[in-house]
Structure 1
């Protein structure tokens, strides 16, 4: 669902809804390729899902994104899209963007964990350092989101028609991927906690990475960056609504 169904479903929706807008289409494809590693933790917690299973999926998706994002972006935009209307994407630029946005924080976390556990001991690291660092990681995420949105605020306000055209396939994407995943996991006998976590993971996207790659590859004023920025504007209210929907479904199905 995360690396085959969802990305290619977004690819199909991008072509179906934006056949005449290759730049906006490319931005949507980047959103579809970015598997969620941040907000999904919030959705899972609000829905009463399995937070430990969610953490495992986040870790797996973080590693897979560093390996798969760049080649899949080139394949979906350059190979399948045939560089339509002059839309070109560089593998090296995308790969470097992903490495900077994901690789540096991951490397810093690994070094910090290993060094502090050796120097200060596991108990101090777990009980003191992590409790001190946890709020800063959330503030860092919020600051990143603020900067990314501020850079695209003018474009969002002044291209409202494009925003609406981008929002339509995104709504379809979030609802369909979530619903299909939830139905299949329910039919397969998953418990509510695992099924809801899997569904939110499949339906959510790493919009921060998509915006960063779009800005680095196509420029901050590009339509690709605009499309990637609209992603979270649609994702947040839709996924919040799905939180209430899945909790209602659990009660209706008496899903434990």
Structure 2
């Protein structure tokens, strides 16, 4: 991820066209690299015998070690770019914080529940898996999408931290509500799991501490030490451009490994994958567009509207897959639904990055409000 991306190019400004031309090959053709990574992963998982078992041999926090490494490499450069001394401006924005909590913990799970029951009434295992995906709010990959779309990096860090806290406290309880209580109240059945999700707060907390806590601490310490010893200008203009590409390399590596782990399962059940994909496509589209419209209606800048939208639309597929496998087994329909989640989420949210950048012309931006020196 090159530093020039974050000059916030606008197509209607001539000087921004030059900025776009200076994007690295990695940035300019990102959708191509992501699609290629998905295809490579699927082919490896399909045609290399025993690869999925080998990759899953060692785990960190219920996640395969290679995926864990990819996630940490992916998140560190993004969190190293956060200006931690400016976080107070985000916490003072009550509209943003309130809208994010409302979208993530009320609208998101309810929407996925509704779509899963409407589109998969005859497939209870897949339906349950999708509901679990809806409960797992994004804390990792959303930072990449937000950064690519030139969203507010400091706001993303705060919203991800809030999601992490809510996830630890509320995940198991919401699982019981949406999988057991609500279906019974609505006369849809006797529940899906026979007692909710048997997953402890500590297991969720451990996942959050590993996949958010480690790169967050590393990013904070890097910026603090770098600015103290070399100054902000050196840190942002010399150091960050050097480590920036590692985020996308980590993303592509993670995608290859993720799809290699489940390549055989996905390619051997194409019709089931298609059925699962339909509610996911509807979910990502509705959540993102609704959040974008809400941000516009609340008078937010482009940067914060974008951050609100991607943090609301993204999901924590690592947690969803780990919970589905832990509760229902690796070969279960619930686990397959969790695996299909990133298969749909990755290309859809990459596409929405470009939609967001196009829609930027209709918003006030943080740069518009800056006072010239």
How many residues align? The count is 249
Moved beyond 4 Å, runs of 4+: 82-86, 103-114, 133-148
Distance verdict in 2 for CA 1:103–1:91, change over 3 Å: farther
Aligned to 2:24: none
> What does residue 199 of structure 1 align with?
309
Instruction: Give runs of aligned pairs for residues 81-120 of structure 1, distance below 5 A.
Output: 81-82=183-184, 87-88=193-194, 90-93=196-199, 95=201, 97-103=203-209
The whole-number CA distance in structure 1 between the counterparts of 2:177 and 2:108 is 15
Which ranges of structure 1 fall in alignment gaps of 5 or more residues? 115-119
Q: CA–CA distance in 2 between the matches of 1:64 and 1:15?
A: 25
Superimposed CA distance per residue, residues 6-56 of structure 1 (whole angstroms, 9 cap, x where no aligned partner):
110010000000001110001101111111111111111111110011011
Q: Which runs of 5+ in 2 are unaligned?
A: 1-102, 230-234, 366-373
- Counterpart CA distance in 1 for 2:169 and 2:310 is 22
Shift in CA distance, 69/139, structure 1 to aligned 2, threshold 3 Å: farther
* Cα shift readout 1:160-218 (whole Å, capped 9, x = no counterpart): 11100111111111111111111111111101100111011111111111011111111
Secondary structure class of the residue paired with 1:235: helix
Q: Which residue of 1 aligns with 2:133?
A: 31
Distance 2:213 2:156 in 1: 21
Shift of 1:155: 1.5
CA RMSD, aligned part only? Answer: 3.3
Q: Which residue of 2 aligns with 1:221?
A: 331
Mark the CA change 1:92 to 1:113 in structure 2 (over 3 Å): closer, same or farther.
Answer: farther
Please tell me whether the aligned partners of residues 89 and 217 of structure 1 are also in contact (alpha carbons under 8 angstroms). no
Alignment match, 1:70: 172
Larger Rg: 2
Please give the alpha-carbon distance, in whole angstroms, between the structure 2 residues aligned to 1:196 and 1:7. 20
Mapped partners of 2:310, 2:217: distance in 1: 30
Q: How does 1:130-169 map to 2 (within 5 A)?
A: 148-169=258-279
Residue matched to 1:188: 298
SS in 1 for 2:183: coil
Q: TM-score, normalised by structure 2?
A: 0.58
Check whether the contact 1:23–1:87 (CA below 8 A) recurs between aligned residues: no
Distance of 1:90 and 1:228 partners within structure 2 = 17
Flag the structure with higher helix content. 1
